[in-house]
A and B are shown apart, each in its own frame.
Chain A
Amino acid sequence: MQATAASGAASLVSAAAAVTPAISLQNVVKTFGEFTAVKGLDLDIRQGEFFSLLGPSGSGKTTVLRMIAGFELPSSGRIDLAGRDVTRKAPFERDVNTVFQDYALFPHLSVAENVGYGLKLRRTSRGDRRRLVAEALEMIRLPHVADRLPSQLSGGQRQRVALARALVLRPQVLLLDEPLGALDKQLREQMQVELKQIQRTVGITFVFVTHDQEEALTLSDRVAVFNEGLVEQVGTPEDLYERPSSRFVASFLGNTNLVEGELARGLTGSDALLSIRPERIRIRQPDEPLEAAGMSSVEAVIEEIVYTGPSTRFVARTSAGQKLIVQEQNDSRASSAHRGDRVRLEWSSRFNYTV
C-alpha cells in the first residue's frame, strides 16, 4: 500500500526526474587491502529524497558516503550523479557537498568566512556572497555568530554552521555523516526536526548516515539497511518496520519477537520465521473470549515487568518455552498483570509477518 502511494507521488514529479535518480550506484565494491568493506552495492536514490543509510558500526555506511563524495575510489563498479558517470571524478568536480561527522569547520576562519568559503572559490561577487552567507545564517537561526571563530561556538551551533556551509552552495545532493552523533539527546531531537524542515524547504536530495534506527525511521523517506558491506533491504520506514525482509532487519529496527518452530507452525501453518512486534500484542485474562475473529492467541506466564514511563514492557513465556515480549501503553486500557500471572496473549493475525 505504502509502496504504491510513494510511487504515485513520484510520478507527479516531472517524468525526467522520476527516471533519472539523483544518485545511482551500480555494483560498487570497495576493498581495503584484504578486507572488503562494500560488497557489490546497487542503489538508486531519487531526486529530492531524504534517504538514510542505516546500519551497525563498521557496516560500510561511511565508506559508501565517501565514495559518493569522491574521497574514496570504488575498487569496481560505477557511480552516477544525475545520470552522469562521476566514478573517477575528484571531489571538487562533483555537485555534492558533505556535512562531516566532526563538522570540519576551518578553525582559522570566522563563521561567515567558513560559510562563504565555497562561494569565494566559485568567484561569487563580494555583494552576493555577503547576502547568501547572511541568508544561510538566517536559515540556521544563527545570524549573530557570523564574526565568531568555530572554537567559540557550542556543539549544536557548530553543527548548524557546518550545515549552512554545505547548503549555501545549493548542491544537487547533500551528504550527512552522522551529523547529530555528537549532540545530546534533547538537542539531537530538536535538530532532527530542523533538519527535516530545512530539507523540505530547499528540496535537495539528502543522504543521511546514521546507526540510530529511530532517527532513520522518523526522518527518512526511504532507508537502506546495511549489514557487513551489503544492503539487506531498501524501503520506506513503514516497509522496513512492518515488513522486514530478513531476520537482521527485523531485529535491528526496534524490538521484535522472532518466532519459529512449533508456535510459528501453529499460527500460520508453515515453517517460516515470524516477526511479531511487541506493541501489537495485548494481554488478556486466560478465560476471556477472543476479541474478534482473525486473532492469534497463545497462553503464557509473565516473567518480568519493566516500567519505562509511557509504556510497560512484559516478558512472557509460553508453556513450550517461547519467549514473547509485550509492549503496552500505560493508558486506561493497560492490563494489571503481575509477575507470575498466567495470561493469554492475543494479536491480530495480520501482524504475523513472515520474514
Chain B
Amino acid sequence: MRLSRSAKITLRIFAAAVMAAIYLPLLLVIVNSFNATTSGAFPITDFTTRWWEAAFTNEGVREALWTSLRVATVATVIALLLGAMIAFALSRYEFFGKNTVNLLVVLPIALPGIVTGVALNNTFKTVLEPLGIGLGLFSVIVGHATFCIVMVFNNVQARLGRMNRGLEEAAMDMGANVIRAFFTVTLPGFKSAFLAGGLLAFALSFDEIVVTTFTAPPGTETLPIWIFNNMARPNQAPVVNVIAAVLVLLSMIPVYLSQRMTGDDRK
C-alpha cells in the first residue's frame, strides 16, 4: 500500500506517541531502580545497585518469587495438557454440546477477573474447605489455570483448524494407529502453537493480581501481590522498582519468544 507523505508522517507520530505512552513508564521503572535517592526524584544524580542487592536479599521478595514461579509453572503445565486435549477433541470429533464446551473453555478470559476470583473464593470457602481443601497454593493454581488454558486452547485450536486433516488419514493409511498418527503427524504440526500458548500462559500467570487476591490465603504472596502490598511503604519503594523491572523483563521474554514461534510457521 502506498501512503501519501503527510499520511506517513501522521502515522509515524501516532505510532511514536503510543509506543512512548506504553514503554516510557516501563523504562522509567527500570531507570529508577538504579536511583540512589529513595524519593525517586528526577533527574537522577546518583546511580546505585543498592536496591537490587536489597531486593535479592529480601526474604519476602524471595518467597514471593518462589511462589510465583511455582504457580506459573504448574498452571502452565495444566494449561498445556488440558488446553491441547480439549482443542484436539473439539476440532477432530463431533459430539453433542460441542459449541457449549467451546464457549465454556474460553469464557474465563472474557469474564472480569474479579468474577472468577469471587466465584473461586466462594467455592473453596463453602464447598471445598469442609472437605479439607481450603485456600492455599492449590487454589491459586486452579485460579490461574482457568485463564491459562484459554491461551493454549486458542493457539492450538486455531492451528488445528488450518491443518490438513488428510495428513492424519495418510498416516493411518500407512499403518499408524490413532495414537501414533497423533504423535508423529498432528503434534509436530501444532507444536509451535502449543509452546507459544504455554509461554503466553506463563507470562499471564506471572503478573496476575486480581484472581490471585481472591484465591490466595492470607500470608501467601505472589510477586505482583508483594509489590501491591509494599508500594505504599516509602522505604520499600526503590525495592518495588527493582521487582517491577524484573517482572517487566520476565514477562516480556516469553511473549517475545511466543511471537517469534508463531511467526516462524507462517512461511
Chain B positions within 8 Å of A69 at CB level: 173
Q: How far is the CA of A24 from the CA of B170 in the complex (A)?
A: 23
- Does A92 lie within 8 Å of B177, measured CB to CB? yes
The reply on A144 being an interface residue by CB < 8 A is: no
Chain A positions within 8 Å of B170 at CB level: 98, 100, 104-106
- Of residues 163 through 195 on chain B, the ones whose CB sits less than 8 Å from some CB of chain A are 164, 166-167, 169-177, 180, 184-185, 188-189
- Does B177 lie within 8 Å of A118, measured CB to CB? no
Interface size of B in residues (CB-CB distance below 8 Å): 17
- Does A102 lie within 8 Å of B164, measured CB to CB? yes
Q: How far is the CA of A104 from the CA of B185 in the complex (A)?
A: 11
Q: A102-B164, A121-B180 are in contact. Are A71 and B174 (CB under 8 A)?
A: no
A246 → B minimal CB distance (Å): 34
Q: How far is the CA of A104 from the CA of B164 in the complex (A)?
A: 8
Interchain CB contact (< 8 A) of B169 among A91, A117, A121: A91
Chain A positions within 8 Å of B185 at CB level: 106
B251 → A minimal CB distance (Å): 30
- Of residues 100 through 136 on chain A, the ones whose CB sits less than 8 Å from some CB of chain B are 100, 102, 104-108, 117-118, 121-122
The reply on A97 being an interface residue by CB < 8 A is: yes
The reply on A79 being an interface residue by CB < 8 A is: no
B204 → A minimal CB distance (Å): 28
- Of residues 38 through 65 on chain B, the ones whose CB sits less than 8 Å from some CB of chain A are none
- Does B176 lie within 8 Å of A121, measured CB to CB? yes
The reply on A165 being an interface residue by CB < 8 A is: yes
The reply on A169 being an interface residue by CB < 8 A is: yes
The reply on A193 being an interface residue by CB < 8 A is: no
Q: How far is the CA of A96 from the CA of B173 in the complex (A)?
A: 7
Chain A positions within 8 Å of B167 at CB level: 104, 106-107
B58 → A minimal CB distance (Å): 47
Q: How far is the CA of A100 from the CA of B173 in the complex (A)?
A: 10
Q: How far is the CA of A98 from the CA of B172 in the complex (A)?
A: 10
Q: How far is the CA of A71 from the CA of B169 in the complex (A)?
A: 7
Q: How far is the CA of A42 from the CA of B196 in the complex (A)?
A: 51
Chain B positions within 8 Å of A104 at CB level: 164, 166-167, 169-170
The reply on A187 being an interface residue by CB < 8 A is: no
Q: A91-B169, A102-B164 are in contact. Are A108 and B174 (CB under 8 A)?
A: no
Q: How far is the CA of A102 from the CA of B163 in the complex (A)?
A: 13
- Does A91 lie within 8 Å of B172, measured CB to CB? yes
Interchain CB contact (< 8 A) of B172 among A90, A105, A108: A90
B221 → A minimal CB distance (Å): 43
Chain B positions within 8 Å of A98 at CB level: 169-170, 173
Known: A90-B172, A102-B164. 6 other contacts (CB 8 A): A71-B172, A104-B164, A106-B170, A108-B188, A121-B176, A169-B175
- Does B173 lie within 8 Å of A121, measured CB to CB? no
Q: A108-B188, A108-B189 are in contact. Are A118 and B166 (CB under 8 A)?
A: no
Chain B positions within 8 Å of A97 at CB level: 173-174
Chain B positions within 8 Å of A102 at CB level: 164, 166
A307 → B minimal CB distance (Å): 43
- Of residues 139 through 170 on chain B, the ones whose CB sits less than 8 Å from some CB of chain A are 164, 166-167, 169-170
- Does A117 lie within 8 Å of B188, measured CB to CB? no
B220 → A minimal CB distance (Å): 43
Chain B positions within 8 Å of A118 at CB level: 174-175
- Does A165 lie within 8 Å of B174, measured CB to CB? yes
- Of residues 48 through 90 on chain A, the ones whose CB sits less than 8 Å from some CB of chain B are 69-71, 90
The residue in A70, A71, A108 that gathers the most chain B C-beta atoms within 10 A of its C-beta is A108
The residue in B170, B176, B188 that gathers the most chain A C-beta atoms within 10 A of its C-beta is B170
- Does A92 lie within 8 Å of B164, measured CB to CB? no
In the A-B complex, the 5 residue pairs with the closest CB atoms: A118-B174, A104-B170, A104-B166, A91-B172, A121-B175
Q: How far is the CA of A169 from the CA of B174 in the complex (A)?
A: 8
Closest to B169 in A: A71
Q: How far is the CA of A100 from the CA of B171 in the complex (A)?
A: 12
Closest to A95 in B: B175
- Does A121 lie within 8 Å of B174, measured CB to CB? yes
B254 → A minimal CB distance (Å): 24
A/B interface sample: 30 pairs, CB < 8 A: A71-B169, A90-B172, A90-B177, A91-B169, A91-B172, A91-B173, A92-B173, A92-B174, A92-B175, A92-B176, A96-B173, A97-B174, A98-B169, A98-B173, A100-B169, A102-B164, A102-B166, A104-B166, A106-B167, A106-B185, A106-B188, A107-B189, A117-B174, A117-B184, A118-B174, A121-B175, A121-B176, A165-B174, A166-B174, A169-B175
Closest to B172 in A: A91
Q: How far is the CA of A102 from the CA of B167 in the complex (A)?
A: 10
Q: How far is the CA of A121 from the CA of B171 in the complex (A)?
A: 10
Chain A 262-295: CB-based contact to B (< 8 A → 1; otherwise 0): 0000000000000000000000000000000000
Q: How far is the CA of A108 from the CA of B189 in the complex (A)?
A: 7
- Does A117 lie within 8 Å of B177, measured CB to CB? no
A70 → B minimal CB distance (Å): 8
A116 → B minimal CB distance (Å): 10
Q: How far is the CA of A166 from the CA of B172 in the complex (A)?
A: 12
Q: How far is the CA of A180 from the CA of B44 in the complex (A)?
A: 73
Chain A positions within 8 Å of B171 at CB level: 106, 117
Chain A positions within 8 Å of B164 at CB level: 102, 104
Chain B positions within 8 Å of A105 at CB level: 170
Chain A positions within 8 Å of B177 at CB level: 90, 92
Q: How far is the CA of A91 from the CA of B173 in the complex (A)?
A: 5
Q: How far is the CA of A201 from the CA of B78 in the complex (A)?
A: 54
Closest to B170 in A: A104
Chain B positions within 8 Å of A90 at CB level: 172, 177
Chain B positions within 8 Å of A117 at CB level: 171, 174, 184
